[in-house]
């Protein structure tokens, strides 16, 4: 059985990534693998501190390049403290977002030059990349409706809601979706698009079939 794989789930707001990361991690663990479930921004103590600066507060609190730098600072901590040590010991790592989100959000969405993001990736991440990236695609309006319903259900009385990106305008979210689809088109050997406008079970089954096929796992 293949060892030490890094799988990332990507997509716009309300695409259901967090739910699907949990379901996939559980399925892999049931197959007898050691699995580390993680997220970006975050996934280590230092990166979680940076996360708070990025996902809450006013939509325009950062210059787009500053925002990209913060994401990459968190990413370096995540990689060195969590991802790479887990992979080194043979674990599978399933992450809710990775560098494709920075390219889509800060690049396609906020206009940071691709050359800047490429240079940051090379400096912070190097030649490392995910073994498989699952891009959960959903119509923008459907995803935002889901995200807003989730935030309303959370009842954030303390004013710390992680909804900064959800509150950005529709044009941003349209560019974001196109950014993810462009990444998938440019790197079909790494990326697989999953229709996220379906039931939780249907999305999970599509994800599992893709993962099992890619890595030679039992599809049951």
Domains of the chain: 6-215 (3.40.50.300)
Q: Please give the chain's pLDDT, 220 residues, in tens.
A: 458 999 999 999 999 999 999 999 999 999 999 999 999 999 999 999 999 999 999 999 999 999 999 999 999 999 999 999 999 999 999 999 999 999 999 999 999 999 999 999 999 999 999 999 999 999 999 999 998 887 776 654 444 589 999 999 999 999 999 999 999 999 999 999 999 999 999 999 999 999 999 999 987 7
CB atoms within 10 A of CB 195: 11
Helix/strand/coil percentages in the chain, nearest 5: 55, 10, 35
pTM confidence score:
0.94
Does residue 46 come out as left (phi exceeding 0), alpha (psi in the -120 to 50 range) or beta? Answer: alpha
74 CB-side CA count, 13 A: 27
- ω into residue 165 within 30 of 0, thus cis? no
Count of H helices and E strands in the chain? 9, 5
């Amino acid at each position: 059985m293949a060892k030490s794989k890094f799988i990332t789930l990507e997509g716009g707001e309300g695409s259901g990534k967090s739910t699907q990361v949990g379901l996939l991690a559980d399925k892999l663990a049931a197959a007898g693998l050691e699995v580390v479930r993680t997220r970006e921004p975050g996934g280590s103590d230092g990166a979680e501190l940076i996360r708070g600066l990025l996902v809450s507060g006013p939509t325009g609190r950062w210059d787009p390049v500053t925002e990209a730098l913060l994401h990459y600072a968190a990413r370096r901590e995540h990689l060195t403290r969590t991802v790479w040590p887990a992979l080194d010991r043979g674990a599978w790592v399933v992450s809710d977002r990775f560098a494709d989100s920075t390219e889509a959000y800060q690049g396609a969405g906020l206009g940071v030059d691709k050359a800047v993001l490429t240079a940051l990736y090379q400096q912070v991440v190097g030649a490392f990349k995910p073994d498989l990236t699952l891009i959960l695609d959903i119509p923008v309006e459907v995803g935002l409706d889901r995200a807003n319903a989730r935030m309303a259900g959370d009842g954030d009385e303390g004013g710390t809601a992680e909804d900064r990106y959800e509150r950005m305008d529709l044009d941003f979210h349209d560019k974001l979706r196109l950014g993810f689809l462009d990444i998938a088109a440019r790197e079909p050997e790494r990326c697989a698009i999953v229709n996220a406008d379906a039931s939780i079970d249907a999305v999970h089954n599509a994800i599992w079939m893709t993962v099992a096929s890619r890595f030679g796992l039992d599809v049951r």
